[in-house]
Each structure stands twice: as C-alpha cells, then as structure tokens.
Amino acid sequence: MQRAREAAQHAYAPYSNFRVGAALQLTSGEIVTGANVENVSYSLTICAERAALVRAVAQFGPSIRIAAVAIANLNNAPSPPCGACRQMLAEFIEPDAPVAFPAADGVRTLPFREVLPLAFEMKLK
C-alpha cells in the first residue's frame, strides 16, 4: 500500500483532482507502480492499475503474472478497480491474488476472483 500511495503522488489529475496510485507485486517479487493520467477527453484517461500493468509488461515482458495488487488514492475515497482495470488485470493475475483497495469501511482486501467473478476469458492456443 505504501508504494501505491507514493505512486499516487505522481498522478496527473488536473480535471478531477482524484489522484490514484497502484502497485503490482509480480510473482517474481518485483513491484511495479503506476498512477492515473487524465486527459481533457475523459474517456482517454488511463487508470493507475492499467498504467502499472502496461509498465510491468513493457519492463518484464508479456509472461508476467501478478501475485498481488494494492490501490491507494489521496482523496480518502472508496476506489476499487474499475471494470476496464479488472478486465485488463484478469489477463495477467493469479485468481487468488489479493487485491487491496480503499473502501467505505477502510482498506478492503479480496481475492481477484471475487473482484471480477465473471471475467471474459478466451483460451489462446
């Protein structure tokens, strides 16, 4: 969580001022962080979770596996991963990987399979 909080400090959020950071622990033990990057066209905004995921793939290659996820924001507001982030994480995460995120009652931690119980999946040959 500390690494996610540190990443949130680097968020670019001039429109919403909602600064989010994410930290992914890979099965290799490496930790990769990301921050949200907004755009005046809100649909082009990149969430912290996806920023960290893209960075992990760029740095370590497409065979990465995610062992744990931590999400933090500087606004003290609930912020579970959005649907797009959940689906992107599903491509690389272990089903039982813990996902920790700010919730209304404090930090909540759930296994990924509960965060996205009905992930769209396709078996690649």
Q: What is the pTM of this model?
A: 0.93
Classify residue 80: in a domain, yes or no: yes
In contact, 104 and 116? CB cutoff 8 Å = no
Classify residue 11: in a domain, yes or no: yes
Find the catalytic residue in 6, 30, 38, 49. Answer: 49
CATH code for position 92 = 3.40.140.10
pLDDT tens digits along 74-109: 999 999 999 999 999 999 999 999 999 999 999 999
pLDDT of residue 63 exceeding 60: yes
Classify residue 87: in a domain, yes or no: yes
How large is the average pLDDT for residues 17-44?
96
Instruction: Please say if 49 is a catalytic residue.
Output: yes
Phi, psi of 76 (to 5 degrees): 50, 45
Classify residue 125: in a domain, yes or no: no
Domain count, the chain: 1
Classify residue 120: in a domain, yes or no: no
Domain around 77: 2-115
Classify residue 122: in a domain, yes or no: no
